[in-house]
Structure 1
Amino acid sequence: MVIARTDEQKAQAIAELRSHLKGYPPVNDQEGALKQLLSTFEWRKENGIDMYPVATKSNGLPVLYPIRGYLSMPDQNLIAAPGVAESVLRIYRHMVEEIFHYHVGCNEFLHRVIMRDCSKMAGKVINRETVIFDCTGMSWQQFHMPAIQLIRTISDVDQKYYPETLNKLYLVNAPGAFVYVWKIIKGWLDPGTIDKIQILGSDYQGKLLEQIPPENLPSFLGGKCTCNHIPGGCVPSQVLKNVPINIPGDANHKVPTAYNSDIMEKGKTCEDIRGPYRIGSD
């Protein structure tokens, strides 16, 4: 949608954008930042990203990953509910090619729904995430070349089309093998992204608690949160077998997108399916 604006409205929009950027480092390469922003908008338009469905309380779509502690969505796990594509249920158990669509679907839900809730609770704009990746039990088997290439694809999408949405990424209990993999991955990342990543061994609790209040950090990572009111606790895992295995049925179609094709099609015309907020829209 294109909306004509007066000079006064444009100036107000710029002022609002600047207010949202308070606390961020100054942009030294303004030309590069503008190019990245325009590239993001073009990518979203060409791929119909604004039309991606996201789960909300009103539309009743099942979530694509477990969530805890938000205002507009009840605590819940990913289940093999009707409408979830079969690929999502496989991705949740294994690393497969469909992860690209799953990742975009999860990102859209995060920024349109979860970040909106976080901003309400914090009383300020929240648009960046802190990620903790626990490497416990990982070995060379998980670092085979197809998996590394998928990591490259995901990091490329995030850097180009979801810029400045990462606050911190902590890799805890990192095995010795990861040192060699990190040398490969590091070459794909923007220097600004590399600065946000910390690789930690088993002595990580102090670093995490510097960033995250103990009541929001799972107890097995050194915090006080247990989420014992819902199966699987803070981190339901089919690998750890603390939740039932999701078995795809007839209602979970074999398509590469995150939701069944009929739901993806509805997203093109139904505002409720797309959720209350769309990135880059007026």
Structure 2
Amino acid sequence: MPPPNQAPGRPGNLTPEQEAKLKEFWLVVLKTFGVLPPPSLLESSAITSTTSINSAAVAPKISETASSEANGDKKKKRFGVFRKKDKENNKEKEKEKEKEKEMTSASTISSPTIGSTVGPDDNDKYGQSKQYKTALAEMSPEELRVAFWSMVQADHPDGLLLRFLRARKWDVKKALVMMVSTMHWRLKEVDVQSIMFKGEGAALAEHDEGFLKQVRLGKSYLHSTDKAGRPICVVRARLHKQGDQSEDALNRYTIYVIETARVCLKDPVDTATVVFDLSDFSLANMDYAPVKFMIKCFEAHYPESLGVCLVYKAPWIFQGIWNIIKGWLDPVVASKIHFVRNVDQLAEFIDRDKLWKELGGPDAYEYKYIEPIPGEDDLLQDVETREKLLEERAKIVREFEDATYNWIYSSSSDVRQARFDIAKRLKIDYVGLDPYLRARSIYDRMHYINLKESVE
């Protein structure tokens, strides 16, 4: 049963047609990741001889050798779900190659056909078709797989894929392009893992003043929840001055806030509310570059993550600015933006007694930055334990992938439940892993983040 008040198109709350699309999507994703079906399934009668398991339904297979040549340099070491010692990794690769050869010659699999190539998209606003092809040329299937599972965190794996499906109106081909493009963006362009691994503690140690100033000011901050239970992120535009920080520092800060908000989500809530507080706003606070970056984040790389955006107390000078900004917005995103002029209108979305004084409510809350505590990130340096935990997680991930293949070719409720149980184990497992991958934030220090509670 889906959690109470869960929105449609979410894990456990799918129509038969939506579940069929999700199965179709999972099949092409697993192929893109180079993940083979479990031997037990290959030996069963569930698979028919229509399409080779190694013929990609959407994406051509890119070898790791070709990927390395395309990169032109050595791969950076990253914390992945599947990282092992080099010798063990090489042995595993050799075993996989042998297994693949055997299965290619001996087994075939039926799969939904959605085309062997990805063509141009008339609505490709961010050039994701091109980025998709770049990702396949620059990243090995395993790198794409690592990037995906790193993004899952404590989410249900279906939940992440369903975001891309809903964003692309259940078009599997377009959803795959969006998902692969996002994995390339996360791993190769902005290095999301590094941003979250370093966090506030490393920024302090490295004197990263551009990043620190924004956190200390509370240019944007997380506090409370709205009527739908969504975490609220307030953006105080009056605190922004163009040139106070580099574009890189501002972009890293934006990603940091979005990723931190993701950690705060608790089922069945899977979106956040953003309040743009424009009180005391002037033209000196206007900066189009970060606005464009934020829009791109929500539309291209964090699909279906924005619940509602409230523009609070916009002055008359903002009207001309808004006429420019709304031209950049996807209609779906634009429909989530509401202008609220006063506390009464704001209270339509957030309970009045939860509104704090800065927003005209009774709550005495005021953002005050809590500096990093010495030793709070010590677990990040415990490489041995992290590697052990990652290897244990890799086993659960592989169980889920095997269970997903079984679910794709079965209508059994027992198979569906078994897969659901493994997904639950993945969520619980991430709670123990999180301190070894993510630096502590102000929201950990003030106990706003409670991962253990979020997976119960």
Decide: shared fold, TM above 0.5. yes
Secondary structure in 2 matching 1:137: coil
Residues 1-282 of structure 1: pairs in structure 2 closer than 5 A: 4=36, 6=38, 17=158, 28=169, 30=171, 31-47=173-189, 48-53=191-196, 62=200, 81-82=204-205, 85-91=208-214, 94-95=241-242, 96=245, 97=247, 98-111=249-262, 113-115=263-265, 119=266, 124-143=267-286, 147-201=287-341, 203=342, 205-227=343-365, 233=366, 235-236=367-368, 272-275=435-438
Partner amino acid, structure 2, of 1:275: R
Deviation string for 1:15-56 (max 9, x for gaps)? 97279969x97963514333222221222232332343258x
Distance in 2 of aligned mates of 1:25 and 1:207? 29
Larger Rg, first or second structure (1 or 2): 2
Distance in 1 of aligned mates of 2:345 and 2:330? 23
The alpha-carbon deviation at position 105 of structure 1 amounts to: 2.0
Measured at CA, do residues 107 and 45 of structure 1 come closer, stay the same or move farther in structure 2, by a change above 3 Å? same
Structure 1 residues without counterparts, runs of 5 or longer? 9-14, 56-60, 65-79, 228-232, 237-242, 247-262, 278-282
Secondary structure in 2 matching 1:53: helix
Distance in 2 of aligned mates of 1:20 and 1:185? 29
The alpha-carbon deviation at position 172 of structure 1 amounts to: 0.9
Distance in 1 of aligned mates of 2:347 and 2:166? 23
Measured at CA, do residues 34 and 198 of structure 1 come closer, stay the same or move farther in structure 2, by a change above 3 Å? same
Distance in 2 of aligned mates of 1:152 and 1:104? 13
Aligned residue pair count? 206
Deviation string for 1:88-136 (max 9, x for gaps)? 134456443220111112222221x322xxx1xxxx2332110111111
The alpha-carbon deviation at position 184 of structure 1 amounts to: 0.8
Residues 219, 225 of structure 1: 8 Å contact kept: yes
Measured at CA, do residues 171 and 52 of structure 1 come closer, stay the same or move farther in structure 2, by a change above 3 Å? same
Misfit runs of 4+, over 6 Å: none
Distance in 2 of aligned mates of 1:42 and 1:106? 20
Residues 340, 346 of structure 2: 8 Å contact kept: no
Residues 354, 363 of structure 2: 8 Å contact kept: yes
Distance in 1 of aligned mates of 2:207 and 2:268? 30
The structure whose RCO (Cα within 8 Å, separation 6+) is larger is 1
Partner amino acid, structure 1, of 2:253: Y
Measured at CA, do residues 166 and 174 of structure 1 come closer, stay the same or move farther in structure 2, by a change above 3 Å? same
Question: Structure 1 or 2: larger helix share?
Answer: 2
Identity of aligned residues (%): 21
Q: What CA RMSD, in Å, does the superposition of the two structures yield over aligned residues? A: 4.1
Measured at CA, do residues 86 and 137 of structure 1 come closer, stay the same or move farther in structure 2, by a change above 3 Å? same
The TM-score with structure 1 as length reference comes to: 0.58
Secondary structure in 1 matching 2:196: coil
- Alignment-derived partner of residue 68 in structure 1: none
Deviation string for 1:181-223 (max 9, x for gaps)? 011111111111101111232x3x2332222233432134243
Residues 132, 172 of structure 1: 8 Å contact kept: yes
Secondary structure in 2 matching 1:168: strand
Partner amino acid, structure 1, of 2:331: P
Distance in 2 of aligned mates of 1:85 and 1:20? 35
